[in-house]
Structure 1
Amino acid sequence: MVSKPNQIQTTSQYGLGDPDARFCVYVANRPPMLEYQALAQIQPLCRGEIALINQACGNGWRKVFNVYAKLLFALPQTPLFTFHQHAASWQDYRDSRLLQNGSDTALLFSAPQLEPVTDRIHIIAGRTFAKALLEQGLAAQLQWLTAEFAIDKRQRLLVCPYFDYRQLNNEKIDYLVSLIRQLETF
């Protein structure tokens, strides 16, 4: 198979979290720490590692982890979304389970590997990143619902604002939850 220049190649995914995660968030950059620069697979975090990343990398990464945990706790508890069973609050979940083995969550720095039949949900954080992935050959048929949100129901793929309080505020988290619920029933 001949690929176009800059076309996304099917390779293994890499990032932080549960290698078997069904809830996958994709971001363009990884924490600027030496131990994460050569990731070639999905590496589960250990308890306390998020705090270490926050300390070493600053407020931006703290916001990513906080928004991720807030989003999970905004989802209603269903057979697919059992995050509430493991912690009393989003803060507790962030500190005790997020991106760890068995958490069902991943933060990936590679392109999504889209499988047509799966219960995995893919969320690309950031319109600019999503458009770059499309230009590189991501096989998705995004329907842009707003300037910031897009959906491909068949691929169970969403695009939303970057995981930052100002870009993905509580109102937008609620909207994202409604889109995720659409994928859950698709």
Structure 2
Amino acid sequence: MGNEMLDEGVIKFQCDWHQDRAFTASRLQSLMAWRDRMYELGLIGVGEDGIGFGNISMRWNNSFQFVISGTQTGNIAHLSPEGYTLVTQFNIPENRLTCVGPAKPSSESLTHAAIYTYNTSVGGVIHVHHHQLWQQLLFSVPTTREEIPYGTPEMAQEIWRLFDYEDLMRYGILATAGHQDGVIAVGRSLEAAAQVLLHYYKAIQ
């Protein structure tokens, strides 16, 4: 068990990690397939600075819990079940969460938590980085304000604003003005989120 601050870039949150065995691959089949597809397209990967980018999650058993890809796994082409963890509890205002599994959670986990909490119809979330896609989407789809730092309680509140006032669920995708190249897709299922993302991605090819 670990209790530590995750610090990647400007992101810091208190993480209570209970190390445990991985889920079976059959339980994560859809999540693993879509994650690897995003890697193939370069939407999840690792930057020139060696820091991984992109993460993916799905709601777990119709609860507020969710399974998410682990921190700094962007360099792995085929992410096995050992690369995922279950976020079981979180407190957004206090910037902390609890997870159980073989991997530490993505540093963007609280953003995913904010989405699953605020809109219970969301079943999957995909966060990718792609400069051309980001430029194309910026301010043409729901977009977070530039001054909002990513991976923070402020970002959670900003995404809630997009749900309420910019019809985020209808678009199924948002751009992060203050987080260069960042794009987040949401859907009633993980496949629905992926299809929205692929629709916009294919339009720039």
**Which has a greater percent of strand?**
2
TM-score (norm 1): 0.38
TM-score (norm 2): 0.36
